[in-house]
Amino acid sequence: MSGVRVLVGTRKGAFLLTADGKRERWDVSGPHFAGWEIYHMKGSPADPNRLYASQTSGWFGQVIQRSCDGGKTWETPGGGITTKPGEMPAGESNRFVYDTSPDTGRPLTTHQWYDGTQHPWEFKRVWHLEPSLTDPDTVYAGVEDAALFRSTDGGKAWQEVAGLRGHGTGPKWQPGAGGMCLHTILLDPSNPKRLYVAISAAGAFRTDDAGKTWKPINRGLHSQYIPDPTAEIGHCVHRIALHRSRPAVLYMQKHWDVMRSDDGGDSWREVSGNLPTDFGFVIDVHAHEPETIYVVPIKSDSEHFPLDGKLRVYRSRTGGNEWEPLTKGLPQRDCYVNVLRDAMAVDSLDKCGVYFGTTGGQVYMSADAGDSWTPIVRDLPAVLSVEVQTLR
Amino acid sequence: MIRVVLPHHLRRLAHVDAEVTLDVAGRATRASVLDALEARYPMLRGTIRDHVTQQRRPYLRFFACERDLTHEPPDAPLPDAVVSGAEALLVIGAIAGG
C-alpha cells in the first residue's frame, strides 16, 4: 500500500502529515520541537525512515535532529547523555565550523557586507538539508552565512565543502534582506559528482568533481538591482528545481524572473511568459512530466503576497513561457500570505501530488497535479518548508 | 553538588524535567559548571556558548543569589551559596514578545 508523508517545518515546530495513497484522510503529528524554528526537514531517498531536521533558535543557536523511524522518535546525533564519569561525548552534531585549513587551497575569512566592507563569515543556521540519493548517513547542509557542509556519519559531525567558498568569488558575495544563505542543493541523479547550489544573494554554482571545484553558473541572468545587471555573481536566486530524468534541465525562480537552462546552468533564458508577475520564491517540477512546472507568483519584492489577494499556483506544461492559473480550492479574495522558497514539493504517485505551505499556516495539497486544491491543515504556525516522501 | 536551572527549551533538548545537579571538581566557576553541564548533556553544546569561541549566546544570562552574574569573568568563583547547593545557578533566556 502506498502512502505519503509530508514534512512541514514552521516557525514554531515541525509537523508530519501522513495519508495513504488516496491522499484523502490525513493524520497530523506534532508539533515536534515545539517553540523552535524548523527551517527544513527532509527524508533520505535511500531509507525513507531516516529523516533530518534543522532546528534553530535566536536564543540557543542550531540543533540537528535525526529520526531513524520515520519521525516517531528523534535524537541529536552523537549527542546522547553520557553515563560514565569523565566520558567525553562527541556532541558535534550542531558544530558548523568554517574550514580555514591550508589544504583547501584558498581559505576565505570574509565576504562583502551591506556597506561594501569585508565581513567575517559567521555561522547562523542551517537553511536546507539534502540527504544523499544513495547513502542514508551522508547528508549536505546549506547554511547561513553561505557555505555547504557535508556529514558522512548520519549528522554526528560536519565538514565544510570548502571549495565552494574558495573558488574565487566568495569575497564578492553579500547578504540579501533575508541573510546570506545557501538554500538550494540539487544532486544530479545521473552523475554523483555533479551538484548545484544556490545562494541569496550570490547566485547559482555547480561542481562536477563532487565539491572540490566550483564555478558560478549565472550567464543569462539579468538583475537590475545590482550595479552590473549581468554580473557573474550577485543575483538573488530564490530556488532551482530539476526533474530526475533530465538533470541538465534546470528551472529557476529568481528574485524577479522565472528562468530555464538546458545545459546544466551554463546558460539561462527567461521563461516568465504570460505570468501576471514573475516575482516569487518556489518552483518545482511534476514528478512524471519533466516539462510541467509550478510557481506561485508573488506581487513584488516589496509586497510579499499574492497579486490582488488571489492565491494562484501557475502551471506550465511547456517548460515555461505558457502558464495557466490553478485556482480551484484556493482562496480567490483577501488572501495575503506568502509561500517561502522551500515550501513546495511533489509526490510521485499517479496522479502527481503537489503540496505547498503558506506563512498563514495552511498546507495545500493537490492530488491531481494542480487541477484542484484542498487544505490538509489550515492553522499551523507560519510554514517555512514542505517536503514530501512517497512511501511504497 | 551544583544545581543548574535551564530554560524550558534546553530542558526539553536535554530530556530533563527539573533542575540539573552536577559534580564539579575544584572551585566552581561558571566556565567549569558549563563544562560539566555540556559533558553530561552533550546535546547542549553550542546552545549556551558558541562551539568555537565559547562566547555566551547574546540572549542568555546567568543569575544566582538574586544577582546577575552574566558579566562576571567566566572563571570567577561562583557564590558560596551556589557551591554549597543552597542556591541554583539560573540560565535565563531573554524575554521576547511574539
d(CA B25, CA A269): 65
Question: SS3 for A239?
Answer: strand
Residues from chain B contacting residue A62 (CB–CB below 8 Å): 46
- Confirm whether B9 is domain-assigned: yes
- Confirm whether B73 is domain-assigned: yes
Rounded to a whole number, what is the distance in Å from the CA of A63 to chain B's nearest CA?
A: 8
Asked if A83 reaches chain B (Cβ–Cβ under 8 Å), the answer is: no
- Confirm whether B27 is domain-assigned: yes
- Confirm whether B88 is domain-assigned: yes
Rounded to a whole number, what is the distance in Å from the CA of A290 to chain B's nearest CA?
A: 42
Ramachandran bin of A195, using left for φ above 0, alpha for ψ from -120 to 50, beta for the remaining angles = beta
Percent of chain A predicted with pLDDT > 70: 95
Question: SS3 for A20?
Answer: strand
3-state secondary structure B19-87: CEEECCCCCCEHHHHHHHHHHHCHHHCCCCECCCCCCECCCEEEEECCEECCCCCCCCECCHHHHHCCC
pLDDT tens figures, B3-34: 999 999 999 999 998 899 999 988 999 999 99
- The per-residue pLDDT of chain B, averaged, comes to 93
- Confirm whether B13 is domain-assigned: yes
DSSP assignment, residue A334? S
CATH of residue B11: 3.10.20.30
With a CB-CB cutoff of 8 Å, which residues 84-113 of chain A face chain B? 85-95, 97
Largest CA distance in chain B: 42
Q: Give the pLDDT band (50/70/90) at residue A115.
A: confident
- Confirm whether B28 is domain-assigned: yes
Residue B4: predicted pLDDT = 98
Q: What is the mean pLDDT of residues A50-76?
A: 94
Across the interface, do B47 and A94 touch by the CB < 8 Å criterion? yes
Q: Give the pLDDT band (50/70/90) at residue A101.
A: confident
Which member of B40, B41, B93 has the closest CB to residue A59? Answer: B93
What's the total number of domains in chain B?
Answer: 1
- Confirm whether B47 is domain-assigned: yes
Across the interface, do A92 and B50 touch by the CB < 8 Å criterion? no
pLDDT tens figures, A139-171: 999 999 999 999 999 999 999 999 999 888 988
Rounded to a whole number, what is the distance in Å from the CA of A68 to chain B's nearest CA?
A: 18
Position A108 pLDDT exceeds 80: no
Complex ipTM > 0.85: yes
Across the interface, do A97 and B52 touch by the CB < 8 Å criterion? yes
Identify whether the C-beta of residue A24 lies closer than 8 Å to the C-beta of residue A42.
no
| Chain B residue with minimum CA distance to A57 | B47
Sheet of A374-377: strand order equals A344-346, A354-357, A363-366, A374-377
Asked if A82 reaches chain B (Cβ–Cβ under 8 Å), the answer is: yes
What would you report as the CA-atom Rg of chain B, rounded to the nearest whole angstrom?
13
**Number of Cβ pairs < 8 A linking chain A and chain B:** 67
Q: Which domain holds residue B45?
A: 2-93
Residues from chain A contacting residue B47 (CB–CB below 8 Å): 60-61, 63, 94
Across the interface, do A63 and B43 touch by the CB < 8 Å criterion? yes
Q: Give the pLDDT band (50/70/90) at residue A85.
A: very low
Asked if A120 reaches chain B (Cβ–Cβ under 8 Å), the answer is: no
d(CA A257, CA A270): 7
| Chain B residue with minimum CA distance to A91 | B42
| Chain A residue with minimum CA distance to B51 | A95
pLDDT tens figures, A118-129: 888 999 999 999
Asked if A79 reaches chain B (Cβ–Cβ under 8 Å), the answer is: yes
Across the interface, do B9 and A36 touch by the CB < 8 Å criterion? yes
Residue in this structure with the C-alpha cell 552533550, named with its chain if needed: B42
Residues from chain A contacting residue B93 (CB–CB below 8 Å): 59-60
Q: What is the mean pLDDT of residues A201-207?
A: 96
- Confirm whether B98 is domain-assigned: no
d(CA A10, CA A256): 25
| Chain A residue with minimum CA distance to B23 | A85
Q: How many CB atoms lie within 10 A of CB A41?
A: 28
Across the interface, do A89 and B14 touch by the CB < 8 Å criterion? no
Decide which of A168 and A22 is more confident: A22
Which member of A57, A58, A82 has the closest CB to residue B39? Answer: A82
Asked if B53 reaches chain A (Cβ–Cβ under 8 Å), the answer is: no
